Amino acid sequence: MSIRIHPIKAFNDNYIWTLINDNNKQAIVIDPGQAEPVIDYLETNELELTSIWTTHHHHDHIGGVVALQESYPMTHLVAHSEHGVDEDQTIKDGSTVSAWGCSAQVWDVSGHTASHMAYILDIDGQKHCFCGDTLFSAGCGRVFTGTIEQLHDSFQRLNGLSDAALLYPAHEYTASNLRFGLSIEPANEQMQQALAQAETKTAHGVPTLPVTLEHERAVNVFLRTQEPSVIAGVESKTSIDDEKSLTVFAALRELKNNF
């Protein structure tokens, strides 16, 4: 099966990840916060929208759903019951959805919000993880209706994927997240290199995403909570009661909130 994955840009820094089957000219979009850029892309490339998948209820992820359903009335909407849309297929942790015969497992990766879902799509043995606003390259989502404990657990779960798994966050926050990471781990050379590359790409309008989990383990401080360099970096900026992973993770999130 040949499925292409393309980011449609929306708002200032959103990516609407689009799965494209060139054999039948069909497409699936994930988290369409705006309808217009999706419709423009589909029409320009003569594609038919057949399905929409959502990860959580925030407007910049579901705002375009209704207009897309009106333009493409046969579209199959996949969502959790708390995503605020009128879904055709209600998902929860452990559900399975299909993309032209390829299977995607649904994981609960709450924390940024309650009922935040991720889609782990398997294409010919390669895992593609559409993680919404839970994990960003070099960062994590801010906690709104979820909890920091949930977010930490979600990171532990995502960290169980293979090194080669590709992560598709929904925002272009990479450069700013790396700047924060370097405030914690200033000697992290891989982080320094990643920032230089991200700044160059961003300046030219080129996405920094997707990224492999192997890359994120090297540059994302929220996946590095048990590294001595991260613990020391946190302790240089705030006091923590212990060095447990959750404690360090929560301190990092609070420092990022005020960065």
| Per-residue pLDDT reduced to its tens digit, 225-257 | 999 999 999 999 999 999 999 999 999 999 999
In the chain, % of residues over pLDDT 70 = 100
Mean pLDDT of 117-136: 97
Output the pTM of the full model.
0.97
Question: How far is CA 35 from each of CA 11, 52, 97, 129, 137, rounded to the nearest angstrom?
Answer: 11, 11, 22, 23, 25
Residue 131 in contact with residue 94, Cβ under 8 Å?
Answer: no
**pLDDT tens-place string over residues 50-90:** 999 999 999 999 999 999 999 999 999 999 999 999 999 99
Q: How far apart are CA 159 and CA 17, in angstroms?
A: 21
Asked whether the predicted pLDDT for residue 1 surpasses 70, the reply is no
| 253 vs 81: CA distance, rounded Å | 28
Per-residue model confidence (pLDDT) at position 2: 84
What structural domains does the chain harbor?
3-257 (3.60.15.10)
What is the predicted pLDDT for the residue at 256? 98
Rounded Cα gap, residues 152 and 145, in angstroms: 14
The pLDDT tens digits of the residues spanning 167-216 come to 999 999 999 999 999 999 999 999 999 999 999 999 999 999 999 999 99
Query: For the segment 18-28, what is each residue's pLDDT rounded down to a tens digit?
Result: 999 999 999 99
Per-residue CA distances from 65 to 23, 53, 81 (Å): 25, 10, 15
The first and second tokens of residue 132, run together, are 């919404």
The predicted structure's pLDDT at residue 114? 97
Which among 104, 110, 112, 57 has a CA at the least distance from the CA of 80?
57
CB 188 within 8 A of CB 233: no
Upstream peptide bond of 210 is cis (omega within 30 degrees of 0): yes
- Provide the pLDDT for residue 159: 98
Output the six-digit token pair for 221: 């401080």
Confidence (pLDDT) at 202:
96
CB 48 within 8 A of CB 40: no
For the segment 108-130, the average pLDDT, to the nearest whole number, is 97
